[in-house]
Amino acid sequence: MERIGFVGLGAMGGPMASNVARKGFALNVYDRSQEAIGRLAALGAKAQRSVAEVAQASDIVVTMLPDSPDVAEIVLGPDGIAAHGRKGQIVMDMSTIDPTTTDRLARQLAKQGMSFVDAPVGRLVSHAIKGESLFMVGATDADFARVKPVLDAMGTTVIRCGGPGAGMRMKLVNNYLAIVSCQMTAEALALATKLGLDIRTTLDVVNGTTATNGHLKGAFPSKVLAGDVAPGFRIALAHKDISLAVNAAHKAGAPVFTGAAAREVLALAMHDGDTGAKDFSALLEFASKLAGISTPRL
C-alpha cells in the first residue's frame, strides 16, 4: 500500500485526511496548526514536523491549501516537496488554484522525474466529513491508477477529466456555475421576501420547475434559511474561485458576463463587516440587507 502524505488539514483537508486514516493507509500529516495535526494523530496518522518530513516519508503527497501562492511555495519552495522528494513520487494537489500554476507545477516536477496530479474537490465540507466528496482529476493513466484508491477513501465519485491540468480547469467550470447560481438564488429569495411572498411556498414552487438548483433544494434550507451561516465554504473563498474562473475565461477569450457581475457582488459582500468569513449561502443575508429587509428564515 502506498504511503500517503497530507499537507493542509483545514476545513476540507482535515476531514478528507481523517477518512484516509480510517481506511488504514499509512498517513503522514503536517499543518501549521498543531491542533489539526493532533486530531489526525489521534486517528493513527504520523505527525511530521515539516513539509520536508512528509515528502521524505511518503509515496504520494496530497496538498489541500487556500490559494495558488500557497501551493507553489509548498511544492516548489526551498523547504517544499520537490526539494525533498524523489523520482517516482506523486504530488496530488486538491486545492482550487490558477490552472497556469497547475501547469507550472506539473512541468517543474516532471523535470525531477516526479508526477503531478490535480484532483480538486466537488461538494461541501459536510460531504468531506462523511467521505462523500467528488473529485475531478487531471492525471496520466498510470498516475490515476495509483491515486484512485486514495481518492476512493475520501469520496464516492472520482471522475478523470483528462491529463494533468484538466481537473483544475473542470473545477473552475463547476465553481463558476455553483457560485453564480448561489448569488442568483440569494437575489431571488430576497426578491420573494420583498414582494411579500412566503419563503416556504416560494421554495415549493421553484423546486417544482426548471428554476430549481442545488442551493434551493439543499444548501440554503440547511444553512442560511435555518439561521446557520457558519462557514462550510466561505464567501471570501467563493470570491477567490469566481475570480479564477473569470480570469481564465478572459485568457481563453470566452465571455462570462454573469460571472463578472457575480464577482463584483461577492467583492462587496466580502468587505461588508465579517460577511466574508461566513458561509457563501450568507449571500442571502447580504442581498436582504441591500433590499432593506430581514433575512428570510424557514
Residues annotated catalytic, as ranges: 171
Nearest to 24 by CA among 128, 124, 160, 152: 152
CA distance 152 to 154: 5
Neighbours of 134 (CB within 10 A): 16
CA distance 224 to 116: 38
CA distance 252 to 173: 13
Are residues 233 and 12 in contact, defined by beta-carbon separation less than 8 angstroms? no
Helix 99-111 and helix 166-194: axis angle, to 10°?
160
Cα 200 versus chain centre, distance: 30
**What is the three-class DSSP state of 118?**
strand
Return the ∠ at Cα 206 (arms to 170 and 280), rounded to 5°: 45
Query: What's the N-to-C CA distance of the chain in angstroms?
Result: 48
